[in-house]
Structure 1
Amino acid sequence: MGGLMFYWIFWSFWVYLTFLVDKKNPYRGKLSAIILIVLLLSNLQFHLRGFDIHASGLFLLVICYTFISQEKQRAIIYYFICSLIVSIGYVTFHLFEIFDPVWIIFKKEWMMGICFGYLSILLQKTLKGRLLITICGTMQGEFLYAYTLSKFPFPYEIGGFEYLDVCALISALLVCWSALENASTYIQTHYHFFEKEKQKSS
């Protein structure tokens, strides 16, 4: 069933942000509202110039552009380059799936989640940056892929549930990876602290 992974992951994010994250966190309210709006818009779609577009995907793209526009000029240029790399990779993946599906060795959603999650980790150092270039790049890739398919008799919904599943999975993998990175930093910091305490006591 398309969208099942999206609903599970996004509802989990919303519950965590709403009930478990510290209320003083500046991103808590914004992210909770964004996730809730995406969930509400997931079944809404419209037709524009021959393309079927899901409102949730378009909303995510606008939000990403808004966050990126608040950065410094050099950072905006780098975000643009990174998202363009992700977009090209996203379209290439889908085209290879059509013309040479043999190389899809396991479930497509997981292959895309791992590939683009790893790519965003290589391109950005922070969780915020990784999420922005991933969502922005994949959604731009959706438009480019739909435009490519428009030359053939293949119907395609931009930002549909198939895309939302992949987007949610990549986001979950990036959050888990970020948690592991922070956990290792926390352990190293406290390990050195305890080592110093032992040295002082001895």
Structure 2
Amino acid sequence: MEGIFFYWLMWLAWVVTTFFMKKGKTRIKLAIFIMLNIIISEFYMIIGDFYVRVSLLLFLLLGYYLAVKHKKQRIVSFYMTTLTLMFAYAGILLFRIYDPVWFLFDYRLIVSVAVSLLAIYLGKQTVQKYALYIISVCQGEFLYWFILGKFHKGLTIGTAAFLDMIVIGCLIIYICTISQQFIVFIEQTLQKPAKEKQG
């Protein structure tokens, strides 16, 4: 059932944000964004011949906000990386139409894992990884449906499957970030007794 990952993971993210994050502006902004996204997830806008899900536009705005907030990055490099991931997203979905036999597993998982791992590898800071992933997936969704729009009319940009893919990818980035922090913490904990013995 498409869309189920979106609702489960967004509700889980809202619970974690509301009850477990430290109090502050980031927590309030994130909680409002998550709740607003859940509420408007079934609303659409008509743009040209397409129905565009409002949640997609909200995610795209979040991606741009994170990109602008992270001013240390090189603009040209960030733009080229975003284009690369965007084409990867659209390319995998188009390849699925052309030759679906290769997709033994759920395509939502394949796309999410592939693009999020690229974002983790190409992004330096955590904020940049999220920005890369969110912007490239949203823009890739536009590109994919614009290509299909040449053959069909009345298509929906930002399907329930898209919502699943964007939250699964964000979850993968979050898990990788937490794992890296945990590994660093373990290394620091193990190094302290060694330094004490040497001293």
Identity %: 28
Task: State the aligned residue count.
Answer: 199
CA distance in 2, matches of 1:138, 1:95: 14
Give ranges in structure 2 of 5+ residues lacking alignment. Answer: none
What root-mean-square deviation, in Å, do the aligned CA atoms of Structure 1 and Structure 2 show?
Answer: 1.7
Partner of 2:61: 62
The separation in 2 between residues aligned to 1:160 and 1:149, in whole angstroms, is: 14
C-alpha distance after superposition, 1:49-104 (max 9, x if no partner): 00110000111102221332344385333322221111100110011001111111
In the TM superposition, 1:125-136 aligns within 5 A as 125-136=124-135
Kept in 2: contact 1:68–1:76 (CA 8 A) = no
* TM-score (norm. length: structure 1): 0.92
2:178 equivalent to 1:142: no
Q: Which residue of 1 aligns with 2:33?
A: 34
Deviation at 1:105, TM superposition (A): 2.1
Instruction: State how far apart, in whole Å, the 2-side matches of 1:138 and 1:127 are.
Output: 17
Greater displacement, 165-174 / 155-164? 155-164
| Secondary structure, aligned partner of 1:27 | helix
Match of 2:169 in 1: 170
Cα distance, 1:198–1:23 mapped onto 2, change above 3 Å: same
Normalising by the residue count of structure 2, what TM-score does the alignment of the two structures yield?
0.93
Tell me: CA distance 1:72–1:126, structure 2 relative to 1, closer, same or farther (3 Å).
closer
**1:16 match:** 16
Runs of 4+ that moved beyond 2 A: 69-79, 153-156, 197-200
For structure 1, the residue ranges without an aligned partner over 5 or more in a row are none
Partner amino acid, structure 2, of 1:29: I
